[in-house]
């Protein structure tokens, strides 16, 4: 057994740019520019931490995970896992990580659960006896023993995700990289996956980097959260500290009919309105105005006056304390889910 590093995952100015191509008039592929999906991220995740990257679509979460698991080369900076460099020592990196990617069929539907695990276990150097006992233990862990010899195509979505999760554990890696492990699952299946992640962290000492859209998930599960937006980490702390930093602020939500755009132009000028977003509320032509306010007693009367003066009708008014999502809105002016 090698010595265990202090930092399980290290990112030093990690960067990934993509060429953005569009068809030009001559119908040839032309390079039009570059998109920076991951923008010089520096981050240290100590051994044993459960860390969450929280961010909206396109923030760069999956790109970060793909670089860490050696699927995609960085275009700048560096990253290491378990002290192995993702570019120079990819085989060692892969030996120390279990990876769950989204949007991939990570298990074969025409095989049984047990056959899938045996197939993937053959990729690692383990004795047959170790493989068999490992597979039995993992199936037990996720309550799939009774269904282990059924074809995966007969599994529910939640069962498939449990299988995909234990597939990442076959070689008992110290680090898990989980890209949106609960996306697409119903609440109950999500809860089972979250409990498993908690167990792997608490009882098995795994270092876990997961990505999520869900602020509740980040809040409930993670010791530290990096809020990611447009390739950068815009805030990094424990969920408690992130929320505390924005205390004293409240969220004022207004559901309105009418020219909400006119009203928001005025609302933005009110002192004490820290940020403001405007969202359409389909199917009718209503709007939701969400404001982060630092002085609610001062802002509220002025806000009502401003919208009335614009002939905008307020259907519903709600005042809420800050959540992690609100922290995100305050930092970026946008919502996690658009």
Ligand X SMILES: Nc1ncnc2c1ncn2[C@@H]1O[C@H](COP(=O)(O)OP(=O)(O)OP(=O)(O)O)[C@@H](O)[C@H]1O
Where does this chain bind Mg ion (CB under 5 A)?
Answer: 61-62
CA atoms of 102 and 127, how far apart (whole Å): 30
CA atoms of 144 and 221, how far apart (whole Å): 23
- The window from 50-58, 145-153, 256-264, 328-336 that contacts ligand X (CB under 6 A) reads 50-58
- Strands (DSSP E) contained in 24-122 are 29-46, 50-54, 76-81, 84-85, 97-100
Residue 314 CB, shortest distance to ligand X, in Å, is: 33
Q: Kindly write out the interface string for residues 213-232 of this chain, putting x where it contacts ligand X by CB under 6 A and - elsewhere.
A: x-------------------
Q: Kindly write out the interface string for residues 65-104 of this chain, putting x where it contacts ligand X by CB under 6 A and - elsewhere.
A: ----------------------------------------
Query: Under the phi-then-psi rule, with left for phi > 0, alpha for psi from -120 to 50, and beta for the rest, what region is 184?
Result: left
Q: Angle at the Cα of 291 (from 334 to 281), degrees rounded to 5?
A: 70
Residue 211 CB, shortest distance to ligand X, in Å, is: 7
Residue 101 φ then ψ, to 5°? -105, 155
Is residue 61 a contact residue for ligand X (CB under 6 A)?
A: yes
Question: Which two structure tokens, joined as six digits, stand for 313?
Answer: 């009708």
Q: How many CB atoms lie within 10 A of CB 119?
A: 13
- The window from 58-66, 78-86, 165-173, 318-326 that contacts ligand X (CB under 6 A) reads 58-66
Out of 8, 14, 37, 142, the residue judged to bind ligand X by CB under 6 A = 37
How deeply is 128 buried, as exposed, middle or buried, from its count of CB atoms within 10 A (0-12, 13-18, 19+)?
exposed
CA atoms of 78 and 175, how far apart (whole Å): 18
Q: Which residues pair with 7 in a beta bridge?
A: 46
Out of 11, 59, 93, 163, the residue judged to bind ligand X by CB under 6 A = 59
Residue 59 CB, shortest distance to Mg ion, in Å, is: 8
Out of 49, 52, 54, 60, the residue judged to bind ligand X by CB under 6 A = 60
Which of these, 100, 102, 75, 80, lies nearest to 90 by C-alpha position?
Answer: 80
Residue 31 CB, shortest distance to ligand X, in Å, is: 12
Is residue 14 a contact residue for ligand X (CB under 6 A)?
A: no
Residue 243 CB, shortest distance to ligand X, in Å, is: 22
Q: Kindly write out the interface string for residues 194-213 of this chain, putting x where it contacts ligand X by CB under 6 A and - elsewhere.
A: -------------------x
CA atoms of 73 and 88, how far apart (whole Å): 10
Binding site for ligand X (CB under 6 A): 18, 35, 37, 55, 57-63, 213
């Amino acid at each position: 057994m090698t010595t265990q590093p202090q930092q399980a995952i290290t990112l030093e100015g990690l960067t990934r740019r993509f060429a953005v191509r569009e068809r030009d008039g001559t119908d040839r592929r032309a390079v039009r520019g570059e998109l920076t999906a991951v923008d010089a991220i520096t981050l240290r995740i100590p051994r044993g931490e459960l860390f969450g990257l929280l961010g909206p679509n396109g923030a760069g979460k999956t790109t970060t995970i793909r670089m860490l698991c050696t699927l995609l080369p960085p275009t700048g900076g560096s990253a290491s896992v378990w002290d192995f460099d993702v570019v120079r020592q990819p085989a060692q990196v892969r030996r120390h990580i279990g990876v769950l990617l989204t949007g991939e069929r990570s298990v074969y539907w025409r095989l049984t659960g047990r056959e899938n695990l045996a197939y993937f276990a053959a990729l690692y150097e383990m004795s047959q006896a170790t493989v068999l006992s490992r597979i039995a233990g993992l199936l037990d862990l996720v309550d799939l023993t009774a269904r282990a010899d059924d074809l995966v195509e007969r599994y529910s979505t939640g069962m498939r995700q449990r299988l995909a999760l234990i597939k990442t554990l076959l070689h008992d890696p110290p680090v898990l990289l989980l890209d949106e492990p609960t996306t697409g699952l119903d609440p109950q299946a999500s809860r089972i996956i979250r409990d498993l992640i908690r167990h792997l962290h608490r009882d098995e000492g795994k270092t876990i980097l997961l990505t999520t859209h869900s602020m509740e998930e980040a809040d409930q599960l993670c010791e530290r959260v990096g809020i990611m937006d447009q390739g950068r980490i815009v805030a990094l702390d424990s969920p408690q500290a992130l929320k505390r930093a924005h205390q004293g602020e409240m969220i004022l939500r207004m559901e309105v009919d009418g020219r909400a755009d006119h009203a928001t132009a005025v609302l933005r000028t009110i002192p004490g309105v820290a940020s403001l977003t405007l969202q359409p509320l389909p199917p009718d032509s209503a709007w939701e105005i969400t404001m982060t306010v630092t002085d609610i007693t001062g802002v509220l009367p002025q806000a009502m006056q401003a919208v009335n003066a614009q002939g905008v009708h307020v259907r519903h008014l709600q005042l809420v304390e800050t959540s992690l999502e609100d922290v995100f809105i305050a930092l970026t002016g946008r919502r996690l889910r658009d």
